[in-house]
Amino acid sequence: MASKKARWGLLSTARINERLIPCIRASSRSELVAVASRDGERARRYAADWQIPTSHDSYEALLADPDVDIVYLSLPNSLHAEWNIKCADAGKHVLCEKPLAVTVEEVDRIAAAAQRNAVVLQEACMMRFHRQTDDVRRLVAEGAIGEARIVRSVFTFTLNRDDDIRLDPELGGGVLWDLGSYQVSLAQAALQQNPVEVIGWQVASDRGVDLSFSGQLRYPRGAIAQLFCSFQSAPAWNAEIVGTAGFMQLDEPYQNHPGTDGHIRLLREGSDASGATFSDDTEGMEEEMLTYARANAYQDQVDAMVACVLDAAPPPLALAQSRGNIAAVTALLESARTGKAIALR
């Protein structure tokens, strides 16, 4: 099927589409054929602005379009479950912007719809499709830093638009869903486990949406993940994984800046582990820098989705992994609301 192209349709005119459109067009086996909005005039203007051949004045019309193979679903979070299922029932493959859903029960219904319709359905958590995340997982699994003890991460920026949908509780708003879900997903990728207990604290808006969130997650073998995300802070992003025999630092852990080099700085015990004068410095440790030049994880997720659809390649991000991530996020939110640690089954 090497000569076949996957034909994409955009379900909404959301701003995040601007990250995907160039990647779809850069994919040699992809074609962007349609866009839909509930406002027909908006859809027509958007199609003209982005040189998209077909516009639809309803989401249902896009799903009925026989020329669409893959739907990129970029609706507000609270609508993801409904339209993932509708896309699957229409026989469309789906790349759904993260989060896949906002409850575990919704994920289960989505997975059932994907299975009964034999379609590929993946969450567009772009960093999970990038080689850097694969290398983090591999290095931890190989014991490059010994046994992982803690994953620490920060992801923040200032959100000043009062009408932004990420501040609307009815649309699944909140900083943990927007930024923190990447951090929970990074810990899941690094540790290859889901947490067994979480605790969270939030600074909430007068509408009850979390604006800043701090969380801690405990994993089965004793590792801990700590995260801080915020709509109330200067832009910052980093992550660190510390183990029994070394640590790694990531300056672009979420791969959300296309065209920017990313790095893993890796320090681990060398052949002479006794070389340090004191046990609290890195003297005698070996340092290695892994560089990911001008990385674009959005391109990686488009290419991976096309490979799944056209070549039956296994999905890089399985629905079971998305389910585990969403279970952890919802538990963190429950903890922040109740002031109690929450155990996960």
Q: What is the pLDDT of residues 281-328, one digit of tens each?
A: 677 789 999 999 988 999 999 999 999 999 999 999 999 999 999 999
With bands split at pLDDT 50, 70 and 90, how would you rate the model's confidence at 271? low
Helix-helix angle 297-311:17-26, to 10 degrees: 60
Domain harbouring 158, CATH code: 3.30.360.10
Do both 93 and 205 map to the same domain?
Answer: no
Whether 308 is in a domain gets the answer no
Do both 169 and 89 map to the same domain?
Answer: no
Give percent above pLDDT 90 in the chain: 91
Do both 30 and 170 map to the same domain?
Answer: no
28 contacts: CB under 8 Å, gap ≥ 6: none
Q: What is the pLDDT of residue 88?
A: 98
Do both 100 and 27 map to the same domain?
Answer: yes
Q: State yes or no: cis peptide before 220, omega within 30 of 0.
A: no
DSSP string of 286-339?
EEEEEEEEEE-HHHHHHHHHHHHHHH-PPPSS-HHHHHHHHHHHHHHHHHHHHT
User: Which pTM was predicted?
Assistant: 0.94
Domain harbouring 108, CATH code: 3.40.50.720
**Where does a domain end: 124, 141, 170?**
124
**Where does a domain end: 124, 158, 175?**
124
Q: What amino acid positions are annotated as catalytic residues? A: 98
Do both 250 and 172 map to the same domain?
Answer: yes
* Class of residue 28 by CB neighbours under 10 A (exposed 0-12, middle 13-18, buried 19+): exposed
Whether 309 is in a domain gets the answer no
In the chain, how many domains are there?
A: 2
Q: Which domain holds residue 132?
A: 128-298+326-343
Do both 134 and 275 map to the same domain?
Answer: yes
Whether 161 is in a domain gets the answer yes
**Where does a domain end: 124, 143, 174?**
124
With bands split at pLDDT 50, 70 and 90, how would you rate the model's confidence at 277? very low
